[in-house]
Structure 1
């Protein structure tokens, strides 16, 4: 027998409680049960007698005194509560579930027992009470359950005799109902991810696990069909929920298969169309895990639904994107995820059509909450020409920006305290300044909507007095000299003949005389002067067989001279005309006998003129 009480106002100091149990009209049978700071006492059944009346009261005592409650008269027969039932087993049939239980010590306590059964879908607050006609002493049948759905069931009992109390509800039994053919479609999506071995990306297809009320059975495998060009291929997987396909896949079909049937195929097209406008999303951050995203309405009656995709823009390990689907008329959504502060997320919105094709509507970079940059830009180069200084700095890595950079701040530090020179908007990572001579330190910082970040390390440089301008002057003079030299070369080439003529008049002959190379001298000789072979080569000089002395009649000197001059003159005429020297009787019919004898004489030595001018001669 469990006895409980309310202690009333808290005494604020240590208080001892004592429960007294006494049979009515038997003062000597009083039993006490002391407790400390508790409000319940359990009395064993062996200490009680059936059909006996008992008086029960509680005394409280502490340093301030003692208090006693009113007496309560208890009839043991009217407060009997059966032990809590224990569900022992259940059996899932085609259309129902049979549940069985037992009650500890039920036979010893009461012969007649009435039980009550209640059940509900797992996770639902409202219970359904089973009709008493379907309940026996130790079993019941649950019907009209939804296929492949988790339910929980509890049982309690009461004695049919006396004014007993209902037992406690049993420990809940959680079970899953019978299977049936699936009636849902897989929620699938895809993305490209880079590979280490090739410049091409690989296609990754993802899908979510079907809800039990959609699967209505245990999924045994998944059927994946894809098309590459005109090639259609199929594979089966026994695990969820991704597959890697060739990068040039055009479309994909995915089907979930159970023992009772299969789902409708989920159609995916990897051919995106449309444009990607940026900076069109409005973001509101709630409670550290909700992100409300809004965008302009997109009017198109052919859209089946919209798909919203999000993932971290920068991650040490590649993380697949998450997505959800919404009605086509929606222009906002409340995303629930562990969105981190200062981390950039890429959010995209796609329009999906009945044929499986999709169109990209929005692709934007957002922050759940912005902060100031954690690092400063690094100065890349500092170029100085005279008093003009150009500074170029690097962009802060995206994961360290902690927000959208609105502007860069350039500071020029000299003897005076640090002073801001100019502020440049985001995207401008260089600046040119005209600075007075002196020694300076320059540093840079970046700002977001939340404020300015850290300042970079200072870079010191000097701007010298204008004497350094001689560098520019040297460059200009060098350019002028080069141009002048080129002009003189061109002028000499154009006036070469005039210059040569002038030199011939005013300079010694040997300064301007050109000696031709003998290998370039092409002198034509009469064919009669040489004996040639059939192949055009000169014959070797014939060998001398015998020598005979012949007296030759001397000829007048004038005749020989005249004939020599004539021979040379005829040779020159032949050389000028480019023809060979020919002789015939008709042509020489008018020549005198002396002339013929002279012509038959051996020819005088031939001179080309080359030796006359350029070879040494006897004087």
Structure 2
């Protein structure tokens, strides 16, 4: 259609360009017909009316075009008197436009154009048939057309009364014209008689010819198609397992017509229907056997006029029937394993079996029975009566096997005996197995064949399942070395066992773990810092739960970095600890763990690690030195008092008199803030360890406390001791504190914490007595005030006489703390 419109548009444009000279005034194309048979010869000519075009020369050159293609001059003849003809030996286009031009000085001059259609004469219609529908009393006739004529073709169906030779009687007939594109026609009830003969035929025609179909001689009632019967009831025959009885009812429009029936059926879980031979009696009850017991079937029924006149009806709606049960037959496949065996108690056995096939169980829900008997001449003691496919029980001493059978409402199967003695001496295992993915939901298993093996048993289950939980198993026959395990979940690890089965032995199992599909772990382990020193850090982590690994862990990678460099170490997947070494003291490091499978890796969270200034041993030594120094200083007066009474001579060697030391020059605690210099340019984080520096902290004024003073001037009399409320250089604390903990102030202008003390984990009691001679558990450096711990630094110009205290002085040495 679009092609025709395009050609017409081109023609109009060409006519406008020709200066108003039309084909009717100067030339015309002549043809025998504008419709030709495809592939047949075609002839056309073009002549000029010179009386209307006096300006044309005597000899004019004619140019032919078919559609847009110029036809070579060798394919057409130019004759005198301005006339040209063209001849096609085989016209092979279904539609084309033919143009005639004259060559002018100013170009081509269009004279005329014609459209040519090509196709075939209509073919004779076939398969003419009619069908009577009793529901609306219509006679519908249909047919099939032959080869496509490629041309517009019309069909007309006619029906008329006939003579005995089935020839139409001249006179009245009824014509029916189908809708365009349809090949059927409906004849109304008034145009035919049910029991009289009629002739029906088709006439098909187009521009190349017409053709009639053969006559169809029709008695409408013989071409009737009944409506399908309805199944009223379908039920099994209890006394005859495998038989069903079906009651039907005729459709209302054809209830007066004698009918034959046909039955078809299929199993409920299958799609293929099986048709039964037609029943040649008009009965509303049908019976059919040769079915499997305890099997659900679906049935359908159709009908036809007796003696198979007319057409079969459509199949009616289906009905479901469960046939009656019969006693089970067949032998079950069994497998067993020992769950628990003790020397002084019964052995716990788990017996498993495969369900019988439907055609063997003869029941939809069979029951399985397991019995044990110590005496073959006595009835078995039932330990399981179940619909499950396994039974767990304790095998009493003396019993070597069990009995298994299956039953239903119609009876029971033969009894099977299972012998448990075939595993006392395990047979040879398979030499190797290989498990690999088959699909995302299945695994393939290969193993090496074993000589003398009668069969092989495969077990498999998720590796996360408990050993006593249900598992899958299957048996492969002798000669098999390959099996497919179905219903496997991707990203979950499975354990597969292979047992070779010998004549009187079961081979030892060989197992392997596998995934049908691996992925990236769900997460990486969480790092835990076990221990940190000035140069190392020890880390640990818990393995990822097996169900969340999504694959085999190939390795762990530990990354750690400071401000300038990054380091890493790749570890075996079996490790759960790692020690980072060669770290810098007082350093800050970021640590991260990565966990990888064959499909990729996942990173864990970042752990911050701060190395210490001292190792643990160095810290403990320093604590001990400070503690000894404190005890030596505060117990000086005790030595003097004991020495005056002679105690000193008995228990301690001679020591220097503390009164002659520079300790007497110490001044009481001042309200002035201690001046301590700390100028370190870049420390990312002060480390809170066993030693902490207090700088720029406002010193609390110690409370006035009754302190007993002892005058060590004279050794002739008892020490002169008196109570005084004057502040002294030694302050007792009633609470427990951590001995070697010194608090720093804010760093680089930061505000210190509001707390002026640190709680200690130590339970060492401190001095709260007023005695000048401290007990072994007392420390005079501390004092109690409102249940808070306070530490006071005493400034002295001459600390050189006390080297232990001198060691506490913080100096600046290449931006590193030194003591």
Alignment TM-score > 0.5, same fold: yes
Which has the higher relative contact order, 1 or 2, with Cα contacts under 8 A spaced 6 or more apart? 1
1:297 pairs with 448, 451, 454, which one?
448
Q: Distance in 1 between matches of 2:387 and 2:303?
A: 45
Deviations 1:34-62 (A, max 9, x none): 9xxx99999999999635879999xxxxx
Aligned positions, number: 440
1:455 pairs with 604, 609, 630, which one?
604
Q: How does 1:536-575 map to 2 (within 5 A)?
A: none
Q: Distance in 1 between matches of 2:515 and 2:141?
A: 56
Corresponding position of 1:265: 416
Q: Please say if 1:324 is aligned against 2:474.
A: yes
Q: How does 1:317-356 map to 2 (within 5 A)?
A: 320-337=470-487, 339-353=488-502
Secondary structure in structure 1 of the residue aligned to 2:611: strand
Q: How does 1:277-316 map to 2 (within 5 A)?
A: 280-286=433-439, 288-294=440-446, 296-301=447-452, 303-314=453-464
Q: Is the 8 A contact 1:221 1:236 kept in 2?
A: no
How far apart are residue 165 of structure 1 and its match?
0.6
Residue 91 to residue 320, structure 1, CA distance change in 2 (3 Å)? closer
Q: Is the 8 A contact 1:274 1:361 kept in 2?
A: no
How far apart are residue 447 of structure 1 and its match?
0.8
1:397 pairs with 532, 545, 558, which one?
545
Where is the helix percentage greater, Structure 1 or Structure 2?
1
**More displaced stretch, 105-114 vs 382-391:** 105-114
Secondary structure in structure 2 of the residue aligned to 1:185: coil
Corresponding position of 2:310: 164
Residue 117 to residue 380, structure 1, CA distance change in 2 (3 Å)? same
How far apart are residue 398 of structure 1 and its match?
1.0
Q: Is the 8 A contact 1:179 1:217 kept in 2?
A: yes
**More displaced stretch, 182-191 vs 275-284:** 275-284
Normalising by structure 2, report the TM-score: 0.44
2:359 pairs with 208, 213, 229, which one?
213
Q: Is the 8 A contact 1:373 1:403 kept in 2?
A: yes
Secondary structure in structure 2 of the residue aligned to 1:246: strand
Residue 253 to residue 95, structure 1, CA distance change in 2 (3 Å)? closer
Q: Distance in 1 between matches of 2:471 and 2:347?
A: 16
Residue 432 to residue 114, structure 1, CA distance change in 2 (3 Å)? same
Q: Is the 8 A contact 1:84 1:103 kept in 2?
A: no
How far apart are residue 334 of structure 1 and its match?
1.5
Normalising by structure 1, report the TM-score: 0.56
Q: Distance in 1 between matches of 2:546 and 2:429?
A: 20
Corresponding position of 1:428: 575
Residue 91 to residue 350, structure 1, CA distance change in 2 (3 Å)? same
Q: Is the 8 A contact 1:269 1:358 kept in 2?
A: no
Q: How does 1:453-492 map to 2 (within 5 A)?
A: 453-462=602-611, 464=613, 468=615, 471=618
Q: Distance in 2 between matches of 1:445 and 1:100?
A: 71
How far apart are residue 352 of structure 1 and its match?
3.9
**More displaced stretch, 47-56 vs 319-328:** 47-56
Corresponding position of 1:569: none
Q: Distance in 1 between matches of 2:606 and 2:243?
A: 75
Secondary structure in structure 2 of the residue aligned to 1:363: strand
Deviations 1:451-474 (A, max 9, x none): 11122332312154xx64973996
Q: Please say if 1:137 is aligned against 2:289.
A: no
Q: Is the 8 A contact 2:456 2:477 kept in 1?
A: yes
Q: Distance in 1 between matches of 2:526 and 2:347?
A: 33
How far apart are residue 30 of structure 1 and its match?
11
Corresponding position of 2:403: 253
Corresponding position of 1:554: none
How far apart are residue 440 of structure 1 and its match?
1.6
Q: Distance in 2 between matches of 1:380 and 1:374?
A: 19
How far apart are residue 261 of structure 1 and its match?
3.4
Residue 378 to residue 46, structure 1, CA distance change in 2 (3 Å)? farther
Deviations 1:143-181 (A, max 9, x none): 554555555544332113695111122444554556544
Secondary structure in structure 2 of the residue aligned to 1:83: coil
Secondary structure in structure 1 of the residue aligned to 2:359: helix
Secondary structure in structure 1 of the residue aligned to 2:618: helix
Q: Please say if 1:81 is aligned against 2:231.
A: no
How far apart are residue 394 of structure 1 and its match?
2.0
Q: Distance in 2 between matches of 1:41 and 1:267?
A: 74
Q: Is the 8 A contact 2:176 2:185 kept in 1?
A: no
Q: Distance in 2 between matches of 1:97 and 1:30?
A: 53
Flag structure 2 segments of 5+ consecutive residues without an equivalent: 1-132, 146-155, 162-170, 203-211, 341-345, 626-819
CA RMSD of aligned residues (A): 5.3
Q: Is the 8 A contact 1:436 1:463 kept in 2?
A: no
Residue 474 to residue 329, structure 1, CA distance change in 2 (3 Å)? farther
Q: Distance in 1 between matches of 2:235 and 2:583?
A: 93
Residue 109 to residue 208, structure 1, CA distance change in 2 (3 Å)? same
